[in-house]
């Protein structure tokens, strides 16, 4: 089974279906690139995929090492460039919940975040900045 199927809906909008689950995502071009900006742009999805992947890999490490991380939040900031239009920077701010993490747990989670497959798949010219914000 193929991963997804995508239909062009017109007016620079797509509808992507995850074939295994049937879940649907719409995309729109951003307003600065002839679109309406009413949904994620494809480059928004790339940046968001990085954040989701970071959390997923951290979650695997947390489960493996019995570390709590429920409620962890990630904010993404994507920076675009022109000529050619492309992503040049993705900032990943990770806000850890108010659990008392020791240095070992922090190291496990930090290293997991850096081992994300999406990150390894992105062009090396895209600057990735991952910042942890540990609750005090």
Q: What is the mean pLDDT of residues 43-65?
A: 98
State how far the Cα of 126 lies from the Cα of 73, in Å rounded to an integer.
22
Can you tell me whether residue 70 is helix, strand or coil? coil
The pLDDT tens digits for 64-98 are 999 999 999 999 999 999 999 999 999 999 999 99
Q: How far apart (Å, rounded) are the C-alpha atoms in residues 6 and 26?
A: 9
CA 129 → CA 50, 94, 98, distances in Å?
A: 11, 11, 23
pLDDT digits (tens, 9 = 90+) for 8-45: 999 999 999 999 999 999 999 999 999 999 999 999 99
Please determine, for residue 47, whether its predicted confidence score (pLDDT) is greater than 70: yes
CB contact burial 20-55 (16+ within 10 A = b; e otherwise): eeeeeeebbbbeeeebeeebbbebbebbbbbbebbb
Looking at residue 68, its pLDDT comes to: 97
Distance CA 133, CA 110 (A): 11
* CA 25 to mean position of chain CA atoms: 15
pLDDT value, residue 61: 98
Is the pLDDT at 136 greater than 80, yes or no?
no
Answer whether 75's CB lies under 8 Å from 93's CB: yes
Mean pLDDT on 106-119:
96
pLDDT for the residue 3: 97
The domains found in the chain, sorted by start residue, are 4-33 (no CATH), 49-133 (3.30.300.20)
Mean pLDDT of 105-111: 98
């Amino acid at each position: 089974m193929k991963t997804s199927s995508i239909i062009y809906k017109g007016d620079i909008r797509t509808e992507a279906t995850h074939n295994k689950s049937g879940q649907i995502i719409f995309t729109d071009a951003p307003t600065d690139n002839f679109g309406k900006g009413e949904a994620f742009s494809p480059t928004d999805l790339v940046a968001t995929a990085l954040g989701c992947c970071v959390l997923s890999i951290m979650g695997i490490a947390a489960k493996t090492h019995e570390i709590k991380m429920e409620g962890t939040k990630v904010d993404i900031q994507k920076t675009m460039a022109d000529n050619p239009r492309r992503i040049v920077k993705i900032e990943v701010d990770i806000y850890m919940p108010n659990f008392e993490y020791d240095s070992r747990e922090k190291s496990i989670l930090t290293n997991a975040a850096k081992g994300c497959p999406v990150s390894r798949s992105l062009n090396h010219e895209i600057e990735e900045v991952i910042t942890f914000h540990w609750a005090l």
